[in-house]
Amino acid sequence: MYYNSIIETIGDTPLVKLGKIAEGIKGTILVKVEYFNPGNSVKDRMAIKMVEDAEKAGLLKPGGTIIEGTSGNTGMGLALAACAKGYRCIFTMADKQSQEKIDILRAVGAEVHVCPTNVAPEDPRSYYSVASKLNEEIPNSFYPNQYDNMSNSVAHYETTGPEIWKQTEHKITHFAAGVGTGGTICGTSKYLKEQNANIVSVGIDTYGSVFKKYKETGEFDENEIYPYLTEGIGEDILPKNVDFSMIDTFVKVTDKDSAIMTRRLAREEGLFVGWSCGAAVYGALEYARENLKEEDTMVIILPDHGTRYLAKVYNDEWMRAHGFLEERSFATARHIVS
């Protein structure tokens, strides 16, 4: 038994019950561990779908170049697809992203352009603008544009949603996921709500992002936009993949609460996951504490793996420098004594 290429191993990730972290909360809390995908993140699912849909539509031809603005995980998925199918890859990234993410993309043969984080999306230096300019300049190039490319949501409608429905034996009552492009939460929720219209979808947003306010007021409020650190979720634009009718409510989570919960997931549950996983769990549990009943089942998406955050949330010095960790770690304290 073997797979014809690494891209055939995408999907069918496990659901795991949360233990200690979910103690005292009514209902069953399950996490879907997306680092089991070959690129170690949920984004493999939509990356391969965008590439294959583009091939079918004649937008991506043999020998072509894939160009995308990515926080790293989509890039990894696209790079794997490009390796398997023989395309060149160029990525633009904001400079707040982990160095590990840049290094990993280069390791799998991609070209990476690092762009400033704190400029407006329409600024020519932003990673959105640089990606679209490269696309204009390079012949036979394809710009998937994960924000507005609906293959993104469709990938989750076709894979993540059905997997969760089957794995929970139709018992899921609540679904929670961080919102970046919106593909994961909207595609998955659409499938789940078609099976059972009562399923509640909870979006996790960051402070400094526009989603929660937009859902509540219908207004795009510039005052909501300010820099934050959590990677992969929250936006200063409204991507087409965010269908607000698919998200029932939003919970905002701070960088600090997300970072501390990420470390707890690793140490208390053995789930060595990324920073937005801490955000998703913190926000989802806040909602669950208030709203879940004993018979309810909530599924939370954990988008990626911890290796990409070793120099950040898993680093005591970095955590202390950001005011996220007041206590000396056990390891450091022991070192000082000896």
Q: Is 31 among the residues that bind ligand PMP (CB under 6 A)?
A: no
Closest among 279, 284, 278 to 298, alpha carbons compared: 284
The nearest distance, CB 68 to ligand PMP, in angstroms, is 12
Q: Is 189 among the residues that bind ligand PMP (CB under 6 A)?
A: no
How much is the CA Rg of the chain, to the nearest whole Å? 19
Question: Do strands 15-17 and 141-142 pair parallel, antiparallel, or not at all (unpaired)?
Answer: unpaired
> Considering only 108-116, 132-140, 180-188, 251-259, which stretch makes contact with ligand PMP by CB under 6 A?
180-188
Q: Which of 172, 233, 319, 325 binds ligand PMP (CB under 6 A)?
A: 233
Q: Is 73 among the residues that bind ligand PMP (CB under 6 A)?
A: yes
Examine the residue annotation and report whether 43 is marked as an active-site residue of this protein: yes
CB nearer to ligand PMP: give 65 or 181.
181
Residue whose structure tokens are 């993104």: 152
The nearest distance, CB 94 to ligand PMP, in angstroms, is 11
The nearest distance, CB 326 to ligand PMP, in angstroms, is 26
The nearest distance, CB 146 to ligand PMP, in angstroms, is 7
CB-closest chain residue to ligand PMP: 232
The nearest distance, CB 153 to ligand PMP, in angstroms, is 8
Beta bridge partners of 263: none
CB-side neighbour CA atoms (13 Å) of 88: 11
Question: Site map for ligand PMP, 258-277, x if CB under 6 A?
Answer: ----------------x-x-
Q: Which of 11, 75, 77, 183 binds ligand PMP (CB under 6 A)?
A: 183
Closest among 78, 38, 20 to 304, alpha carbons compared: 38
Q: Is 71 among the residues that bind ligand PMP (CB under 6 A)?
A: yes
Q: Is 178 among the residues that bind ligand PMP (CB under 6 A)?
A: yes
Closest among 264, 216, 209 to 237, alpha carbons compared: 209
Residue 278's CB: how many other CB atoms inside 10 A?
29
> Considering only 92-100, 172-180, 253-261, 329-337, which stretch makes contact with ligand PMP by CB under 6 A?
172-180
From 26, 32, 43, 212, the catalytic residue: 43
> Considering only 124-132, 176-184, 193-201, 312-320, which stretch makes contact with ligand PMP by CB under 6 A?
176-184
Amino acid occupying residue 60: L
The nearest distance, CB 106 to ligand PMP, in angstroms, is 18
CB nearer to ligand PMP: give 64 or 302.
302
Question: Site map for ligand PMP, 38-67, x if CB under 6 A?
Answer: -----x------------------------
Residues engaged in binding ligand PMP (CB under 6 A): 43, 71, 73, 178-184, 231-233, 274, 276, 303-304
Positions marked active-site: 43
